[in-house]
């Protein structure tokens, strides 16, 4: 999967370059901002021109013409002065500001058909290597659709994600409130000595959002809250903070770990690799979970199982539990949004929360920051601190984790009643101090060298943020860097 993932990124970057060439030819003067992924595509906003479906079709047609011409994409090394002069002339002030913070005097720039662009990763050798793509109008912008698993196959069909788009729109609004939409904006804040206030407001925005979710849960009269999301999204800290807000509303939240309902290892279905598939729903004793959930909601005492990850079996004795009719059960687990997990519970008693770190910060208008990269760095930092796991070991398991997310989490995200974004605009500047030395230690002989080199290059764009004492002990970021008062550390 590693080679496929890095190849896919090369493919996407090269397709974006072809798009920029097409925009230059069809809409001179238009400016595009690459926003975020949506399904197998990338959403982008275009200013300086009124976008219509007909115009998008013209741009797509031009893109295919450029791909058919098989134009060479050449890499050359420019000095900082050359790069700044060129991008100033192009009106790309965000790139000019970004380059000012990178701690090198030379930059690798890619050029095709007279257009030069700065990307933080390798590119295809020519436009002819990028044949499978489509462009779709999606008000107010457009979506660049890319192939699925097979990069030579047809572009994946467009999959509308209204919940996800609303969550990103809210994230962008927070960016505007904080006046921080790019890496250069964040660096300016840090360099200007305003990081402490920035951290406080960032955390306050998350506090407000969590309080609003708690209010909705209480207003609905929900008795069970399911929290699901991909790895390293901060689900556990979110659950604790949500519990606090529910207590403010007079409720008594009670946590149930779905991990305790794992079947004994010999009863877990095998995956395609012949090993137990701990990510699949069938690895959970769903009938027992539903039975005990109903008993708890009816006020009956149950013995919740206790699973040992050491023996890979349930322990002989579980934990006795009973709740009152005013209590709210909080269940955290990757299958929380899957209806099959709680099929016996009426919908009106359930409230589903999808938690993910949806990074809203861009490097510049043409280089987005992938949510996956930030989550990987979060996990690297946490695993190194709590399990003495190296960056290499985390990367070795990461691809398997990602496969499980694609299969068991992302397809259900739109079923959530609400999405919560755990990303913090300042976090990359904090994670850099921890993640960079770990990544830099991965040698050229490692199969993960390309990925580590790309992430190191990405981190070069950010100034270090040293005001860690200002990060609250209940911050989601504390789950990864340490100092969280919700856990015994």
Round to the nearest angstrom and report the end-to-end CA distance of the chain. 34
pLDDT at 356 over 70: yes
Label the pairing between strands 350-356 and 224-228. parallel
pLDDT at 190 over 90: yes
The model's confidence at residue 40, banded by pLDDT at 50, 70 and 90, is confident
- For range 166-170, the mean pLDDT: 92
> For residue 401, what pLDDT is reported?
87
Residue-by-residue DSSP string for 7-31: HHHHHHHHHHHHHHHHHHHHSTT-E
Cβ pair 35, 43 in contact under 8 A: yes
> For residue 277, what pLDDT is reported?
86
> For residue 204, what pLDDT is reported?
97
| pLDDT digit string, tens, across residues 432-488 | 999 999 999 999 999 999 899 989 988 999 999 988 889 999 999 999 999 999 876
- What's the token pair of residue 20? 């920029």
Cβ pair 19, 144 in contact under 8 A: yes
Residue-by-residue DSSP string for 74-117: EEEEEEHHHHHHHHHHTT-HHHHHHHHHSS-SEEEEEEETTEEE
Q: What is the pTM of this model?
A: 0.91
> For residue 39, what pLDDT is reported?
82
- For range 44-63, the mean pLDDT: 95
The model's confidence at residue 279, banded by pLDDT at 50, 70 and 90, is confident
> For residue 65, what pLDDT is reported?
98
> For residue 7, what pLDDT is reported?
87
- Which carries the bigger pLDDT value, residue 102 or residue 299? 299
Cβ pair 105, 49 in contact under 8 A: no
pLDDT at 2 over 50: no
Nearest to 119 by CA among 104, 147, 98, 140: 98
Nearest to 235 by CA among 330, 342, 377: 330
Cβ pair 289, 258 in contact under 8 A: yes
pLDDT at 3 over 60: no
Q: Residue 469, exposed/middle/buried by CB under 10 A (0-12, 13-18, 19+)?
A: exposed
Percent of the chain with pLDDT over 90: 78
Backbone conformation region of residue 252, classed left if phi is above 0, alpha if psi is from -120 to 50, else beta: beta
User: CB atoms < 10 A from the CB of 89, how many?
Assistant: 8
Q: Please state, in angstroms and rounded to a whole number, the distance separating the CA atoms of residues 290 and 228.
A: 17
Q: Average model confidence (pLDDT) for the chain?
A: 92
- What's the token pair of residue 109? 């720039």
Q: Please state, in angstroms and rounded to a whole number, the distance separating the CA atoms of residues 248 and 251.
A: 7
> For residue 489, what pLDDT is reported?
55
The model's confidence at residue 127, banded by pLDDT at 50, 70 and 90, is very high
Find the range with the poorest average confidence among 175-189, 192-206, 274-288. 274-288
> For residue 334, what pLDDT is reported?
85
- For range 369-373, the mean pLDDT: 92
Q: Where do we find the tokens 């992938």?
A: 370
- What's the token pair of residue 445? 């002989």
| pLDDT digit string, tens, across residues 393-407 | 999 999 888 888 888
> For residue 163, what pLDDT is reported?
92
- What's the token pair of residue 368? 């987005």
pLDDT at 140 over 60: yes
Q: How many residues does the chain have?
A: 489
| pLDDT digit string, tens, across residues 217-242 | 999 999 999 999 999 999 999 999 99
> For residue 243, what pLDDT is reported?
96
- For range 174-183, the mean pLDDT: 94
The model's confidence at residue 272, banded by pLDDT at 50, 70 and 90, is confident
pLDDT at 1 over 70: no
Q: Please state, in angstroms and rounded to a whole number, the distance separating the CA atoms of residues 146 and 131.
A: 10
> For residue 227, what pLDDT is reported?
96
pLDDT at 336 over 50: yes
> For residue 399, what pLDDT is reported?
85
């Amino acid at each position: 999967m590693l080679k496929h993932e890095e190849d896919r990124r090369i493919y996407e970057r090269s397709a974006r370059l072809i798009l920029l060439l097409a925009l230059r030819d069809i809409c001179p003067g238009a400016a595009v901002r690459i926003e975020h992924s949506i399904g197998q595509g990338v959403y982008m906003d275009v200013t300086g021109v009124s976008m219509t479906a007909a115009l998008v079709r013209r741009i797509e047609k031009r893109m295919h013409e450029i791909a058919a011409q098989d134009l060479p994409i050449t890499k050359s090394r420019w000095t900082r002065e050359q790069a700044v002069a060129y991008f100033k002339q192009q009106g790309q002030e965000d790139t000019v500001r970004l380059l000012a913070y990178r701690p090198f005097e030379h930059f690798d720039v890619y050029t095709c058909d007279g257009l030069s662009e700065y990307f933080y990763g390798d590119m295809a050798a020519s436009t002819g290597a990028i044949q499978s793509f489509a462009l779709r109008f999606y008000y107010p912008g457009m979506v660049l659709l890319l192939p699925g698993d097979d990069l030579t196959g047809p572009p994946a069909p467009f999959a509308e994600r209204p919940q996800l788009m609303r969550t990103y729109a809210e994230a962008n609004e927070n960016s505007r409130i904080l006046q921080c939409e790019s890496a250069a904006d964040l660096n300016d804040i840090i360099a200007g000595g305003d990081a402490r206030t920035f951290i406080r407001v960032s955390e306050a925005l998350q506090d407000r959002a969590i309080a609003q979710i708690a209010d909705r849960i209480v207003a609905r009269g929900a008795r069970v809250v399911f929290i699901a999301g991909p790895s390293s999204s901060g689900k556990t800290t979110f659950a604790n903070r949500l519990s606090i807000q529910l207590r403010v509303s007079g409720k008594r939240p009670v946590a149930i770990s779905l991990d305790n309902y794992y079947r004994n290892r010999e009863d877990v279905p095998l995956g395609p690799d012949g090993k137990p598939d701990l990510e699949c729903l069938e690895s959970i004793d769903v009938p027992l979970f539903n039975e005990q959930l109903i008993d708890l909601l009816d006020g009956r005492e149950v013995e919740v199982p206790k699973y040992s990850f050491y023996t890979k079996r349930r322990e002989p004795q579980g934990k006795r539990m009973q709740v009152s009719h005013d209590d709210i059960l909080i269940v955290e687990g990757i299958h929380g949004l899957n209806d099959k997990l709680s099929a016996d519970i009426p919908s009106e008693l359930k409230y589903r929360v999808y938690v993910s770190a949806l990074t809203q910060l861009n490097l510049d208008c043409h280089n987005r920051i992938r949510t996956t990269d930030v989550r990987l760095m979060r996990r690297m930092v946490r695993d190194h601190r709590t399990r003495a796991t190296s960056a290499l070991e985390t990367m070795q398991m990461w691809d398997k984790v990602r496969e499980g997310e694609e299969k068991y989490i992302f397809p259900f995200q739109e079923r959530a009643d609400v999405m919560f974004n755990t990303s913090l605009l300042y976090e990359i500047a904090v994670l850099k101090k921890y993640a960079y030395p770990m990544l830099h230690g991965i040698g050229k002989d490692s199969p993960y060298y390309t990925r580590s080199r790309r992430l190191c290059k990405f981190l070069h764009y950010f100034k270090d943020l040293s005001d860690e004492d200002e990060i609250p002990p209940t911050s989601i970021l504390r789950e990864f860097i340490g100092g969280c008062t919700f856990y015994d550390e």
